[in-house]
Structure 1
């Protein structure tokens, strides 16, 4: 007699597990990964996407602010690219709706890559190896549409399933420790989950920050709620990178958004829960050494 299917712990939960990476033509994904690491995407060939988005670490950087090709400091702390395509909008202000439009905007931003699709196309088309890779994946030489599609294809594979919390959601009752479970219950009872829910534990609505007390830089006042997936690996925190540790971020968020002054025990439990949201990329926990 077959064993019964495992019962999901997450049937009634406001958070859902991250799905496996989507099935996408591997030639397009491989080409997109090459482009992600290609400094020719920037106007002066000085930096690639991976310059600020380290996939071997947290999908972002450890800096409070990164710098663009113009040498200027970025306006916001760099968001991770892991699970970004699960958000409903892109960027801190959520001005961009699709990953394709986000790629175009980043390439053409004078503060980030300072280039254009026409310039990138010209550079790649002058490379015989790149022409061969585009011909294999798209049946034609590099052009704006195929460049964006390849990068978008790769971006959609940057999901990180397999976290302890997702294992608990899908029926592994032993996946979470008592502290982690206490933290999750507190996460819900305090109201954190009202903004941080869904598959990405956030990323699906806008919210005003500093409701009860100031939180970080006051402008912009309304931001896209960030995902908390892999949050333990992505310090510093907030749009201005002003919280250096997860402990500090939890205390400040609770006070600013919920008017709650947490005890040390509550902070410890919440941090334990947030650490359980660290998933895996290519079989390795996010933030772990390869």
Structure 2
């Protein structure tokens, strides 16, 4: 592919994607990189006015949900009684105060052993079409339930959780206020789901650019987005969550990371600059490293330093805000 023109490489790559369900996905990194063109005109202006139908849409406002259920769900999200041995809460691995995940390559299970896959962020997760790296769960309810009962994660049962919470007069009052009844398996899950459905992070500089603020992005970031589209990254990372809406295969030309699982759900790139390390096994410590490895593994190609720099700059523009504060404390 190195001797072909940019147009020819693009055509070949798209056909390969169609036939082989290409592209491995990182623990918050994009796919479909292709070295078809270097950013020879780094001052090129890309604006919404010149591209009125962008493949990515801005994060919407969170849905209107009963605030009593949301407040109760947030309390539960931080309650260690949800785990079988009362040692951990949902926020132990999904830190809402930082990136919605953790900074570890692998979080540790109840038995002290590392979990097999890197922790995905909970921010904007409700916008994805499936949940978990392998996309085993079709909705937020199934994802929450699976985490609560997984013996390696929370190691509990819905009945035990409800019983423990019911013994707390304050918590019981909270359930009566939100649901009109004591805690039970159904409303425990529903309250957590209600909270997670509010964990949207609008207000990124890229979303402001999509809304028409051309000054929201630098020249380099706009060129990174141009590359993101022209190289084919948007083939897998598009829509409101910049990913999260299809499955793909990894290791097309060279191994990318751990070989299993071979098929992964494409992760969202929202707030990707805050969620290092990357890939499903957490083996890429930085965005720069992850971008280069993706290009080599998926396209048998090496990107220039300029390409990598521009793409990484664009990815930084996807950092949104939660409760008025940038996710991860970043720009």
User: TM-score over 0.5 for the alignment?
Assistant: yes
The answer to whether structure 1 residue 66 and structure 2 residue 85 are counterparts is no
Normalising to structure 2: TM-score of the pair?
A: 0.84
Deviation at 1:261, TM superposition (A): 1.0
Structure 1 regions of 5+ residues with no counterpart? Answer: 1-6
Selected match of 1:166 from 203, 207, 231: 207
CA–CA distance in 2 between the matches of 1:136 and 1:282? Answer: 24
Deviation at 1:10, TM superposition (A): 6.5
Deviation at 1:11, TM superposition (A): 3.4
1:76 — aligned with what? 117
The answer to whether structure 1 residue 13 and structure 2 residue 77 are counterparts is no
**Helix, strand or coil for the counterpart of 2:196?**
helix
Deviation at 1:54, TM superposition (A): 0.7
CA–CA distance in 2 between the matches of 1:248 and 1:205? Answer: 24
CA–CA distance in 2 between the matches of 1:8 and 1:147? Answer: 46
Deviation at 1:253, TM superposition (A): 1.0
Structure 2 counterparts to residues 48-63 of structure 1, below 5 A: 48-63=89-104
CA–CA distance in 1 between the matches of 2:147 and 2:52? Answer: 38
CA–CA distance in 2 between the matches of 1:48 and 1:201? Answer: 28
**Helix, strand or coil for the counterpart of 2:60?**
coil
1:137 — aligned with what? 178
- Larger RCO, structures 1/2 (Cα 8 Å, 6+ apart): 2
The answer to whether structure 1 residue 209 and structure 2 residue 243 are counterparts is no
CA–CA distance in 2 between the matches of 1:124 and 1:148? Answer: 13
Structure 2 regions of 5+ residues with no counterpart? Answer: 1-47
CA–CA distance in 1 between the matches of 2:284 and 2:119? Answer: 14
What is the RMSD computed on CA atoms of the aligned residues?
A: 1.2
CA–CA distance in 1 between the matches of 2:155 and 2:305? Answer: 46
Deviation at 1:97, TM superposition (A): 0.4
Deviation at 1:265, TM superposition (A): 0.7
2:297 — aligned with what? 256
Normalising to structure 1: TM-score of the pair?
A: 0.95
CA–CA distance in 1 between the matches of 2:204 and 2:235? Answer: 21
2:141 — aligned with what? 100
Count residues in correspondence.
283
